[in-house]
Structure 1
């Protein structure tokens, strides 16, 4: 009996040990999974509105002062050939958040595609969509499903409420393209209540963003920081105005009011970086910085780049850009690799270790190998498609294709040092060598027809493959000169 009892007890102990061992393995596996989630990098995408290629110190400006951005850029990799995938805000943002060219989602411009006088438009342009469709899976939706807490902060512009597209928190985002006023009342941003009668909107957006960072301290987060600044209306940060009114102009940059907005935005981003350092979050945070399109040519110049926002010359699409990730991206590095904000979707997913959604078409490539110095990106064409009209900002603007429009319907391609723009109205072609002619002053289409035909063939094949709409219907109200 004693032996039987001892045997039973021994068997019981073995059974209990096996259960405990099994539970221990499960617990360790659970803890390991949780730890994996915990060390998953935070991701911040900073998308400034209408900031030109040279509107920051790290891109060479000696007029605008951006010390915090300059320091952060110097700690990461600066891209000198970074592009917005469209030349104005709504399509650029839709492209970036969806990872797709505009012909896939239908947002080609802001508002109507029939802008400018009807009598000067030869073609009926492609109809424009104002809202991103709900079935288009955006970056925050993928990250939220993967366990990230997600926050949109500032300008959204793709529908009425970013929380319908994967954001847990929305700070001031709606369908508005600009706030109406940076001083109270914030006309088009009624969801934000100012703490005082003269509280600047950019500061309040950052106040709320810092509150989010405090709340998200213990779990990985995705922050889309997209301030309304530095979009119009151009309204001064009063405490900085005197400083810039007495400052010498540089390279066509001399707008003191706009300069106060640029510096104040830099200050707010500096507050965010200080908060991340203080909490210990910065060391595990991946940051991408870019502008949604070129600078407003009436307000700021990007010389030697030609033109500005709304045009498909370099001044309208080339943007200031850098990436930061402590310990992963070598500080003080620069890349001349041509990239697009279309590349951000696959890059962010790779950084997060998250798979692409099934059946989701992405038109960019991950730039993570470039950022981490693992490999160079293979040469590839970059494309733009704009089957719409966009009226000129400035009377008799000599920087655009004609003085009436920043954009007439057409497409563009950059391949290596070469760039071609095709306009649909009369099949006008412009060909530039950006290495020799960054200012796009010399059209080489006639003198180098072989290169023009090569790029045009690429462009036409791309349009066919992506079902890009090309307007052909003539406008009966058009009056030929």
Structure 2
């Protein structure tokens, strides 16, 4: 079977692209990531309640990827896959905190687990199970690769890979220079991150830059500006009760905050005359939660290797390179971005580590890449609605995430459950 990208024209994308940094200068790269945004929670993908006019505009001006996947079913592994270009068994980051979550009594496989009372058993699990809480600094990451090609790099927002910034020239979790920490539920952080992003773009407009803008939204706890929440409450009130599904005004307001950020960044790129030499990527770090996201008809959720846990919204814009209104059905995943960005920048891939991803440059001009398999590995447990097991006492227990390995090739997907 052959999957195609639909576009009518496009200039060659091999090597460094032409642009304002020189007759054959490398492009600026802006990578915007939402947190826990479901695959269908944007307007262009069919959102019924949420409003994303700026993301939709970005999609209409570029290419929509209908089979985009995260490298893992939750935050940390996806970000490690993205930064290193390697799958989870190589960097050994599988989940925030590095342990299974749920009742250890119902875990048939011995893996590290939060709350296990038998400390000797937990020590044995940790000793035989290679897992990390933070990224090994020995890995060469995207900013380090791009800096060899003359890029200035910035990481604004959620990092979730430990203390090492892996070569970023600018690094801030809150947009104002604060230390790495948690900003979930902070209703102002999206605006502050965007303010700092615009400043970075302005300051580096005359040389190639890489901006990694990672929003804390729309991760729980769900909080947003009162006036925006009220807007969606009124919208919800106008919908007949039997058509409301799980529409959540607070979640909708958080999505709007991310959308506003995308609009501000895109407008700044355009105003500064950088659009034709800037690749903008918008994507989510994993699937959404069924309590607030529109996941049908896909099975699963964040934390699961079923489709809704790892399928994500994704679009890219690069005027003059990517055909406006184009669509690509070829599966792509987080590990592909390091080799893609290296290729566009004219930089060498790291020789100290394998790179599992594929350069996506041909897809951007409507061409094809060789068919391949895409892999996921999640060897831990995560409590939540999903796979239900029967207990000896007649009760039942559910796992959202389950020790499993998965692959997709063509139209087929295999999930092996290791119990």
Q: Secondary structure of 1:61's match?
A: coil
1:391 and 2:383 are equivalent in the alignment = yes
- When normalised by structure 1's length, the TM-score is 0.73
User: Aligned equivalents of 2:359 and 2:180: distance in 1?
Assistant: 29
| Aligned counterpart for 2:413 among listed residues 403, 409, 419 | 419
The answer on whether the counterparts of 2:185 and 2:217 sit within 8 Å (CA) in structure 1 is no
Structure 2 unpaired stretches of 5+: 1-17, 112-128, 390-396
Which residue number corresponds to residue 210 of structure 2?
A: 222
| Aligned counterpart for 1:159 among listed residues 144, 159, 162 | 162
Q: Secondary structure of 2:407's match?
A: strand
The answer on whether the counterparts of 1:57 and 1:67 sit within 8 Å (CA) in structure 2 is yes
Give CA deviations for 1:291-328 in whole Å, capped at 9, x if unaligned: 11001223223111112100111110000011111101
How far apart are 1:255 and its partner, in Å? Answer: 0.7
Which residue number corresponds to residue 195 of structure 2?
A: 207
Q: Secondary structure of 1:53's match?
A: coil
User: Aligned equivalents of 1:286 and 1:221: distance in 2?
Assistant: 11
Which residue number corresponds to residue 7 of structure 2?
A: none
Give CA deviations for 1:151-184 in whole Å, capped at 9, x if unaligned: 001100111242xx111011226654x414414x
Relative to structure 1, the CA distance from residue 80 to residue 253 in structure 2 (aligned partners, 3 Å threshold; closer, same or farther) is: farther
1:52 and 2:38 are equivalent in the alignment = yes
Which residue number corresponds to residue 285 of structure 1?
A: 278
1:406 and 2:400 are equivalent in the alignment = yes
1:182 and 2:186 are equivalent in the alignment = yes
Q: How many residues align?
A: 368
1:134 and 2:137 are equivalent in the alignment = yes
| Aligned counterpart for 1:91 among listed residues 58, 77, 80 | 77
Which residue number corresponds to residue 376 of structure 1?
A: 368
Which residue number corresponds to residue 4 of structure 2?
A: none
User: Aligned equivalents of 1:234 and 1:329: distance in 2?
Assistant: 35
Higher share in helix: 1
How far apart are 1:360 and its partner, in Å? Answer: 2.9
User: Aligned equivalents of 1:357 and 1:420: distance in 2?
Assistant: 31
Larger radius of gyration between Structure 1 and Structure 2: 1
Higher share in strand: 2
Give CA deviations for 1:215-250 in whole Å, capped at 9, x if unaligned: 112111000011111111100221211221132386
Query: Within 5 Å, which residues of 2 pair with 1:82-121?
Result: 82-121=68-107
| Aligned counterpart for 1:341 among listed residues 322, 334, 343 | 334
Relative to structure 1, the CA distance from residue 342 to residue 424 in structure 2 (aligned partners, 3 Å threshold; closer, same or farther) is: same
| Aligned counterpart for 1:274 among listed residues 262, 267, 292 | 267
How far apart are 1:88 and its partner, in Å? Answer: 0.2
Relative contact order: is structure 1 or structure 2 higher (C-alpha 8 Å, sep ≥ 6)? 2
How far apart are 1:351 and its partner, in Å? Answer: 1.3
Which residue number corresponds to residue 63 of structure 1?
A: 49
